[in-house]
C-alpha cells in the first residue's frame, strides 16, 4: 500500500464521467488524525489554476484534513465560474466529511480552459461517490493513484518506513514537467507526529532535490501541487533529520517515475554537472543542456553530438573555462578539455537510460537534472492533446 499505509488515512478514487477516456477521475484522501498538520508546495507559474489559489490560501494556517483531486479538467482560466467550482468542491467534501471547507485542499489536472457545468457536476458527484467508498486498504490506495492520471501510462506510488512511522505517496505527471515543480500532482501522507512548520521545511528540501530537478520538456504547469499531510496516529515524534532524508528519497523515487513515463520519450537522460563553483551553477548548467532541443533530438537519434552540450553550457553564467570542460556520454569521454577525445562511434546511446556527465573543473559542487529526448511521439501527442 502507499497513501493508506500510514495510520489515520483513508482514500478512494471513482469514475464520475469527467475524462473523455473514461476511468477513475475523482479522488478523495482523508486524514482522520489525531493531528491535521499539513504543508504544500505549489507551482511558481504566475498563471495559476483556481485550485492552487484556493489551496495556497487555506494552507496558510498549516492545517488540512482532506484532499480532493480531479483529472480531466485543469479548472484554470475558467473565470469566476472556476473559482466558484473550487469552493463548491471544498464545501461538498467538508459537508460530507464533517469538516470546515478551509481544511480541504483542492487539486485539478487536465486541459487548461476547460470547465463547464458538466465538469462541475462531475466533480461534485465524484466527491460524494468517493466519500462513500473511503477505505484504508490497498485497493483504495490503488484506486486513488489511478484516479489522478491523465496522459500517464502508469500510476506512480512510493512508500518509505521510518523509525515507528511510515510515509506513503501517489503522484501523476507525464508532461509539462519543469520547475517550479515537475502537469504534476502529488499527495504524501505520514503518521509521524510533526508540526506543520517541520513538515514545510522537510517538504521544501525534498521538492528542491527531486521534483524541481525534473525538466522533461521545459514546460511549467499551472496546477502543480505537492501536499503533505501528517496524522500523528503513530504517536511517534519523528526525528526531523531522518524524516527529511526519507522524504527526499521518496520524492526522488517519484521524480524518476515521472521521468520514465514522460510523454513520447524514448530516452531517460540524467545530466550531471560536477566541478561547479556552486550547487546552483551545477543545476543551471545541467538544466541548460536539458532544455536544448538540439541536444534532445540528437539523443533521440542516438547521436552523441557533444558539441550541442558545450553550446548549451555556454549560454549560462556559470564559472568555467571552455577549454577545460570534459563531457562523457554513457561512460565514454567524448570531450576532454574542450577538444575531441574518444571516437563518437564508441558511444552506445541505444539504452533507454542515458547518462551525460559534465565536468567544469571550476569547483566541488555537483547537481543532476532528469530529462528526456524530444521525439516524434512527443510532438504528435501534444499536437493533438485538446482534440
Residue 297 is assigned to a ligand binding site: no
Residue 263 is assigned to a ligand binding site: yes
Sheet holding 166-172, edge to edge: 37-42, 225-230, 185-190, 166-172, 156-161
Residue 163 CB partners (closer than 8 Å, separation 6+): 236, 238, 239, 242
Residue 55 is assigned to a ligand binding site: no
Distance CA 373, CA 54 (A): 35
Question: Which 3 state secondary structure label does DSSP give 307?
Answer: helix
Strand (E) positions, 122-239?
Answer: 156-161, 166-172, 185-190, 225-230
User: Residues 157, 183, 273, 375: which is the catalytic one?
Assistant: 183
Q: Give the CA diameter of the chain.
A: 67
Cis bond upstream, residue 180 (ω within 30)? yes
Residue in the block written with cell 532544455: 291
Q: In the chain, helix, strand, coil percent, each to 5?
A: 35, 25, 40
Question: Other C-beta atoms within 10 Å of 287: how many?
Answer: 23
Residue 172 is assigned to a ligand binding site: yes
CB 75 within 8 A of CB 115: yes
Residue 189 is assigned to a ligand binding site: no
Q: Is-catalytic flag, 366?
A: no
Cell numbers at residue 324, please?
Answer: 577545460
Q: Nearest-5° angle of CA 203, CA 206, CA 212?
A: 110
Question: Which 3 state secondary structure label does DSSP give 340?
Answer: strand
Distance CA 57, CA 77 (A): 18
Among 145, 196, 135, 147, smallest CA distance to 168 is for: 145
Residue 296 is assigned to a ligand binding site: no
| 352-385 residues labelled b (16+ CB within 10 A) or e (exposed) | eebebbbbbebbebbbbbbbbbbbeebeeebeee
Distance CA 139, CA 142 (A): 5
Active-site amino acid positions = 183
User: Binding site: which residues?
Assistant: 150, 172, 183, 263, 382, 387
User: Binding site for substrate: which residues?
Assistant: 150, 172, 183, 263, 382, 387
Amino acid at each position: 500500500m502507499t497513501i493508506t499505509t500510514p495510520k489515520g488515512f483513508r482514500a478512494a478514487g471513482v469514475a464520475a464521467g469527467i475524462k473523455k477516456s473514461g476511468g477513475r477521475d475523482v479522488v478523495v484522501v482523508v486524514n482522520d488524525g489525531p493531528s491535521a498538520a499539513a504543508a504544500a508546495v505549489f507551482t511558481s507559474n504566475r498563471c495559476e489554476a483556481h485550485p492552487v489559489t484556493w489551496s495556497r490560501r487555506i494552507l496558510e494556517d498549516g492545517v488540512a484534513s482532506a484532499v480532493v483531486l480531479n483529472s480531466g479538467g485543469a479548472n484554470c482560466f475558467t473565470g469566476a465560474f472556476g473559482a466558484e467550482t473550487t469552493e463548491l468542491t471544498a464545501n461538498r467534501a467538508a459537508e460530507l466529511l464533517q469538516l470546515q471547507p478551509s481544511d480541504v485542499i483542492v487539486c485539478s489536472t487536465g486541459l487548461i480552459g476547460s470547465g463547464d457545468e458538466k465538469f462541475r457536476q462531475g466533480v461534485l458527484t465524484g466527491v460524494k461517490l468517493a466519500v462513500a467508498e473511503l477505505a484504508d486498504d490497498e485497493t483504495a490506495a490503488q484506486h486513488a493513484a489511478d484516479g489522478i492520471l491523465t496522459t500517464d501510462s502508469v500510476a506512480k506510488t512510493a512508500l518509505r518506513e521510518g523509525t515507528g512511522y511510515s510515509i506513503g505517496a501517489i503522484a501523476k505527471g507525464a508532461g509539462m514537467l519543469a520547475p517550479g515543480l515537475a502537469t504534476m500532482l502529488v499527495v504524501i501522507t505520514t503518521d509521524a507526529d510533526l508540526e506543520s512548520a517541520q513538515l514545510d521545511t522537510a517538504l521544501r528540501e525534498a521538492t528542491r532535490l527531486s521534483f524541481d530537478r525534473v525538466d522533461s520538456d521545459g514546460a511549467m504547469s499551472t496546477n502543480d501541487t505537492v501536499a503533505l499531510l501528517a496524522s500523528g496516529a503513530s504517536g511517534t515524534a519523528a526525528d526531523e533529520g531522518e524524516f527529511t532524508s526519507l522524504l527526499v528519497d521518496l520524492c526522488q523515487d517519484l521524480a524518476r517515475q515521472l521521468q520514465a513515463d514522460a510523454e513520447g520519450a524514448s530516452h531517460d537522460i540524467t545530466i550531471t554537472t560536477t566541478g561547479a563553483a556552486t550547487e546552483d551553477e551545477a543545476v543551471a548548467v545541467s538544466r541548460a543542456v536539458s532544455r536544448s532541443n538540439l541536444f534532445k533530438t540528437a539523443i533521440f537519434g542516438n547521436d552523441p553530438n557533444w558539441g550541442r552540450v558545450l553550446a548549451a553550457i555556454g549560454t549560462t553564467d556559470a564559472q568555467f573555462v571552455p577549454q577545460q570542460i570534459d563531457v562523457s556520454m554513457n561512460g565514454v569521454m567524448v570531450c576532454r578539455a574542450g577538444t575531441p577525445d574518444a571516437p563518437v562511434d564508441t558511444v552506445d546511446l541505444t539504452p533507454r537510460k542515458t547518462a551525460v556527465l559534465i565536468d567544469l573543473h571550476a569547483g566541488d559542487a555537483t547537481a543532476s537534472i532528469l530529462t528526456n529526448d524530444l521525439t516524434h511521439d512527443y510532438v504528435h501527442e501534444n499536437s493533438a492533446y485538446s482534440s
